[in-house]
A = this chain, B = another copy of it.
Amino acid sequence: MTIGDIVARRDRLFGKGTPLFYETPVHLVRGEGPWLFAADGRRYLDMYNNIPVVGHCNPRVVAALAEQAATHSTHSRYLDTRILDYAERLLALHADEITQVVFACTGTEANEIAMQMAQMATGGRGFICTDAAYHGNSSLVGQLTHAPHRGRTDVHAIPFPDAYRPVEAGLSADALGERYLAEVRAAIDDFAAAGTPLAGILLCSILANEGLPDIPAGFMGRAAAMVREAGGVVILDEVQAGFCRTGSWWGYQVTDVVPDIVTMGKPMGNGYPLSACAGRADLIGVFRERTGYFNTFSSTPVHAAVGMAVIDELEDRGLAAQAADVGEYLRSALREIATTCEPMGDVRGHGLFVGIDWVVDRDGREPDVAGAARVANALKDRGFLVSNAGAYDNLVKIRPPLVFERRHADRFLEAFAETVAAVHA
């Protein structure tokens, strides 16, 4: 069966429009550490997937999953102490203000809970997000996707703070920060003028989908303070940033802000559907009391066993420090390559989350979407999986499992240098 045959069968069973990566998609059959293996025997170095944070098919996580699934897995209307041990351990990794948690299965569900919680706690309905946000696909959370084009009165999308392609040219770093904070202020004022009570702000702590911009110093903390002062709740989405990706446990430690509510997902169970919405006890309390929320598959002993094994691996293998080190190593080497590669307009990111802003030319900084896609496809053909993403789809997005080491980076850097030489010859 050819790749084309599989795609046709998939279209027939799933419907057309089901997203796939690459011009010619990859048919995978096995994973191990940072490696993925295709049906045709080819091996790929995975530099994209953050879900298998402690490596594809991590033996310790799989063993914990298999053992617990074979022993006991009922829902949370019965008592279980493993999930309480896990909740305690997870909360201890967070800021002191974050003291209670609601477990769920997907990032969408975690953000649904967070938004409902903010609505209930404030009595408000107005949400502030950025104009390139993605936080999930339910009806409520999906209102924040492509928000500027939806014309909703209860969502206000601010231009995301960005030092590389600023909303206004010629400003100093400080003035640019103020400029973006004025957007938050305007959103709050607009809601007030329209009589739309504010529920809160929901941001990815490192603005991952926006394209990992360098956020003006102090922006996040001051934006949070403004929202709180206006009676809103500060929700930070750690679905992409969390679990040591940035070199710290949470992205909000990097961007220096403490949330009222924090949501977690993707890497949390290394592939097992596990997510969470944690927050201040008063906020979680209102939600629990008002909803009696129950999720069939969450807060189970399996959730606990898998989640605990992921934290164990991250801690015992020192993967936060490794992410910081290898990420910086990668960025530094990529910046060196950029000195002779015009389209690499900017190399940025945090820890093992690296973006290369692909541009038509250095001065104009016009996003080169086709160029970024060409690089991603060419790297795939050489055995390295990356993607193009970000607000303009022109960011070459590098986000490997955290077991990715300097030796893997070296392989990649060699292939990358050859690729850009070939693509831009």
| Interface residues of A, Cβ cutoff 8 Å to B | 1, 3, 6-7, 9-10, 12-21, 25-31, 36, 49, 51-52, 56-57, 59, 62, 65-66, 69-81, 84, 87-88, 91, 100-102, 105-109, 112, 115-116, 137-140, 265-266, 271-273, 281, 284-285, 287-300, 302
Shortest Cβ distance from residue A209 to the other chain B in the assembled complex, whole angstroms:
13
Residues of chain B within 8 A (CB-CB) of A297 are 51, 105-106, 271-273
Cβ-defined contact, B31 with A137, below 8 A: no
Residues of chain B within 8 A (CB-CB) of A75 are 49, 51
Cβ-defined contact, B57 with A70, below 8 A: yes
Docked complex Cα distance between A176 and B402 (Å): 63
Cβ-defined contact, B78 with A27, below 8 A: yes
Residues of chain B within 8 A (CB-CB) of A66 are 62, 65-66, 69-70
Partner of A69, one of B1, B57, B76, B293: B57
Q: Write 11 A-B pairs (CB below 8 A) sorted by A numbering.
A: A14-B100, A14-B284, A15-B100, A19-B77, A21-B77, A31-B74, A51-B75, A66-B66, A73-B271, A115-B139, A271-B302
Cβ-defined contact, A15 with B284, below 8 A: yes
Cβ-defined contact, A84 with B6, below 8 A: yes
Partner of A281, one of B15, B77, B285: B15
Partner of A57, one of B51, B71, B106, B107: B71
Residues of chain B within 8 A (CB-CB) of A139 are 112, 115-116, 138-140
Cβ-defined contact, B102 with A105, below 8 A: no
- Give the most central of A12, A78, A87, A284: most B CB within 10 Å: A78
Docked complex Cα distance between A65 and B142 (Å): 31
With A30-B72, A75-B51, A285-B15 in contact, do A137 and B293 touch (Cβ < 8 Å)? yes
Residues of chain B within 8 A (CB-CB) of A18 are 76, 288, 292-293
